[in-house]
Chains A and B, each alone.
Chain A
Amino acid sequence: MKIDINDPRITAFALGELTGSDAIEIARAVLMDARVRMAVDDAREASAQLMGILGDGDAHLLTPGQREAVRSAGARPVITDLASARVPFWKRPAVAGIGVAAAIAVAIFIVGGRPGGGSGDGGVESPAKWDWTQVDMQNLTAPVVSDAGVEGANGSSHAATTPMREAMRDDTTGFREEVKARIRLMPEGEIASGDSLPALDDASRQRWQGVRSGQRLVVPMTSGVTSWPWLERSILDQKKLPPRRAIRIEEMVNHFRYKKPTMISGAGWVADMEICKVPWSTNTALLAVHVQADGGLASESAILELNSERVRRVRLLGYARLKESGPVVVSGGPDRASRSHGNYVIYELEVVEGTEGSGRIAALTLGQGAASKPLSVGTVVDWAEASSDLRFASVVSACGIVLSGGSTSGELDADKLVSLVDMIERQDATGLGVKRKEGLKVIRRAAGLLSD
């Protein structure tokens, strides 16, 4: 219906006095008819001015540019520009703090519960969605921390993060989408500085630890989701290398999906394990463990045992600790695992020379005791013979190692990264999906920026 420009409802709408179907009708006219839009905006400006002079002076409005930005944001599916041009405050050095807001956001989960009901115990993601907009960025981007993977040390986290963990587990897709959308909305300065992300402890990045006989490592079951969208915005949009604290290898690897594991099952899990040579080193191997919930509520850990006669040292790629401890830490225990996404975990192993063909290197067990028959690997295949999943994940990990300035065994630099991408594109040309192709493009550009 066409609205007359002299319709008093226009002024009532501008003053926030119109409700019900009248309000919807005028809102529709504002979107469809430039004359009505102008009349509403004019009435709004005039009323704010009058209130400012006659009233208490507190009637403030968005600027015309901001109002237009709000309207135009609805006209496109992906919002790419939120920050107004004159907002230098975004670019000031930010202080990453953990405090009242985080607690409030988490409390909303506790008090408000989940919109749409519970998730049940199914192995796949529940259709119930969380309202992620109610969670602040501090919580959304909290990293998953694994305490060196040693059994017994893992799984502790602040009690306040429990609802957050449950939400991540039950609505991983919604969680991923919300984080991605928010990172897209972030001002450039914030992306470039990374100051809003907690600093990671460099010493714990890819830290080597000696392998002892009988030592059992707990496999992390979940990852955060912040790193890759951050990387994309830095590299593709800003043509810059991302800040180091945005580089979380486990999140980069698990941004991508992998073939559902089939090798063993138990305790509500399915898992695969695979080992291959490291393409940038002659004396280390990459061990990939892929775990995914498989019906029921998985509550027990996946345990990895390394043969100390064949493996001298091990390091988990990613899962760096925070530099300063805070309440917003989501540890990677079994009750945190996503119901819809698996977790692809990569270890680098320093293999004892001359032990080829002399028994198993690693054994993986799902749950305690005899919950699953252990899955063993004993032969280290060449990287080129590994599965396309492991080859791809290893290149993503390599990119993370290089970008974070982490120590590497062997030769790993921008040129090597490009050569690995070339190899994958040649070898897996037909099997690469769109997401992986785009991922390789990002890695190639990252290598280009590193070279520059």
Chain B
Amino acid sequence: MGVANDRQENRNMVESSAELVERAVSEYESPLIGYARTIVHDLDRARDVVQDTFIRLYQQDVSKVRDGLKPWLFTVCRNRALDILRKEKRLVAVDDEILAAEDSGVASPHQVAADHERVEMVKSYIARLPENQATVILLKFEKGYSYQEISDETGLTSGNVGFLIHTGLKRLRALLPDELQ
């Protein structure tokens, strides 16, 4: 599996703008939402900013943007987020106050217990997977490792890691009850 970042190979394959956007979504959707959220302090707004960013990518010349995709996305995302923030200046200030108030305290004991229970329940389902699948799933989703880091940690090839995560994730989704999905 070609998990290595191979720009040359990428260049040799003609990529349409729709394919570029799809690829950008797969690689940067979550990081961009996280980034936009740090600016606009609201998940829904952050999602809108990122949606807008991806739509704008269609208007770009693929050959010009492809190699600098990440900085392009983050710059446009930042500009759009700041546009919104500026327009919402007063309201965001209020939101910030609310946010600060909300974030000021530690989660309630009830919430901590519920979260802990949820984690343990998911882990109990992961434990039902074959050991190698469970290991890579935990490294990926609990530790946040990349395929390459999992490969380095376990000694498996990155192709094997990909296969194990693919099959493990599929099986886990079949095992997990609806309330955990």
Interface residue stretch chosen among A92-100, A297-305, A342-350, A391-399: A92-100
- A13 → chain B closest CB, angstroms: 5
B20/A21 in contact, CB under 8 A: no
Neighbouring A residues of B52 by C-beta, 8 Å: 82, 185
Check A56 for interface membership: any CB of B closer than 8 A.
yes
Report if A199 contacts B (CB, 8 A): no
Asked if A51 is at the interface (CB within 8 A of a chain B CB), the reply is yes
- CB A39 to nearest CB in B, in angstroms, measures 9
User: Does the CB pair A92–B51 fall under 8 Å?
Assistant: no
In the bound complex, CA of A84 to CA of B163 (Å):
36
State which of A19, A28, A83 has its C-beta within 8 Å of the C-beta of B3.
Answer: A19
B81 to chain A, nearest CB (A): 9
B41-58 vs A, Cβ < 8 Å mask (1 yes, 0 no): 011111110111011101
Q: Chain B contacts of A79 at CB under 8 A?
A: 55, 58
With contacts A95-B90, A135-B79, A136-B82 taken as known, whether A89 is within 8 angstroms of B163 at the C-beta atoms is no
- In Å, the complex CA distance between A42 and B173 comes to 9
A60 proximity list for chain B (CB < 8 A): 30, 33-34, 37, 43, 46-47
Does B104 touch A at the CB level, under 8 Å? no
Establish whether residues B9 and A136, one from each chain, have CB atoms under 8 Å apart when the complex forms.
no
Report, as a range, how many residues of chain B touch the other chain.
Answer: 35 or more
Chain B's nearest CB lies how many Å from the CB of A347?
35
A1-60 at interface with B (beta carbon < 8 Å): 6, 8-28, 30-31, 40, 42-44, 46-51, 53-56, 58-60
Q: Which residues of A contact B13 (CB under 8 A)?
A: 21, 24-25
A17, B25: Cβ atoms closer than 8 Å: no
Q: Hey, which chain B residues are within 8 Å of A69, CB to CB?
A: 51, 55
B37 CB to nearest chain A CB (Å): 7
Q: For chains A and B in complex, what number of residue pairs have CB atoms within 8 angstroms?
A: 241
B58→A66 contact, CB < 8 A: no
| Residues on the B chain within 8 Å of A89, using CB | 42, 44-45, 84, 88, 91
Q: A residues 74-114 with Cβ under 8 Å of B?
A: 74-75, 79, 82-84, 86-87, 89, 92, 94-97, 99-101, 104-105, 108
CB neighbours of A71 from chain B (8 A): 18, 21-22
The answer to whether A54 and B119 have CB atoms under 8 Å apart is: yes
Is the CB–CB distance between B75 and A20 below 8 Å? no
| CB of A196 closer than 8 Å to a CB of B | yes
Given known A70-B54, A138-B86, contact A12–B1 (CB-CB < 8 A): yes
Q: Is the CB of B79 within 8 A of A196?
A: no
Q: How far is the CB of B144 from chain A (nearest CB, A)?
A: 5
A159 within 8 A of B: no
Interface residues of B in 125-176 (CB under 8 A from A): 137-138, 140-144, 146-147, 159, 162-163, 165-167, 169-170, 172-173
CA distance A95 to B54 in the complex (A): 26
Q: Is the interface of B mostly helix, strand, loop or mixed?
A: helix
A133 within 8 A of B: yes
A352 within 8 A of B: no
A323 to B113 alpha-carbon distance, docked (Å): 56
Residue B110 at the A interface, CB < 8 A? no
- Check A358 for interface membership: any CB of B closer than 8 A: no
Residue B15 contacts which of A15, A24, A74, A82 (CB distance < 8 angstroms)?
A: A24
B-chain residues with CB within 8 Å of residue A58 when the two chains form the complex: 30, 34
Residues of B within 8 A of A18 (CB): 1-3, 26
Contact of A95 among B6, B75, B89 (CB under 8 A): B89
How far is B56's CA from A322's CA once the two chains are assembled, in angstroms?
30
Chain B residues positioned under 8 Å from A23 (CB to CB): 2, 10, 23, 26-27
A16 to B91, CA, bound (A): 34
Given known A74-B21, A196-B87, contact A20–B79 (CB-CB < 8 A): no
Q: Shortest CB–CB separation between residue B154 and chain A, in angstroms?
A: 15
Contact B142 A54 (CB under 8 A): yes
B12 sits at the interface (CB 8 A): yes
Q: Which residues of B contact A44 (CB under 8 A)?
A: 26, 29
Which of A54, A61, A92, A105 contacts B29 (CB under 8 A)? A61
Q: Which residues of B contact A133 (CB under 8 A)?
A: 56, 59-60, 72, 76
Residues of the A chain whose Cβ atoms lie less than 8 Å from the Cβ of B138: 54
Cβ A66 vs Cβ B47 within 8 A:
yes
Q: CB-defined interface of A62-76 with B at 8 Å, one 1/0 digit per residue?
A: 110011011101110
**Which residue, of B5, B34, B169, has the highest number of chain A Cβ atoms within 10 A?**
B169
- CB of B119 within 8 A of CB of A53, answer yes
In the complex, whether A214 has a CB less than 8 A from a CB of chain B is: no
Q: When chains A and B are docked, how far (Å) is the Cα of A186 from the Cα of B128?
A: 49
Enumerate chain A residues within 8 angstroms of B82, measured Cβ to Cβ.
Answer: 100-101, 104, 136
**Which chain B residues lie closer than 8 Å to A53 at the CB level?**
118-119, 122, 180
**Nearest CB of chain A from residue B135's CB, rounded to whole Å:** 13
Chain A residues with Cβ below 8 Å from B29 are 16, 44, 61-62
Q: B residues 83-123 with Cβ under 8 Å of A?
A: 83-91, 118-119, 122-123
Which residues in B have their C-beta under 8 angstroms from that of A262?
none
**A390, B80: Cα distance in complex, Å:** 39
Residues on B with C-beta less than 8 A from A136 are: 79-80, 82-83
23 A-B residue pairings within 8 Å (CB atoms)? A12-B166, A14-B26, A15-B140, A15-B147, A17-B162, A19-B6, A19-B27, A21-B9, A24-B23, A25-B13, A27-B22, A27-B23, A46-B169, A54-B138, A59-B30, A70-B51, A74-B18, A101-B82, A101-B85, A115-B64, A133-B59, A134-B75, A136-B80
Footprint of A on B, CB under 8 Å?
1-7, 9-10, 12-13, 15-23, 25-30, 33-34, 37, 42-48, 50-52, 54-56, 58-60, 64, 72, 75-76, 78-80, 82-91, 118-119, 122-123, 137-138, 140-144, 146-147, 159, 162-163, 165-167, 169-170, 172-173, 180-181
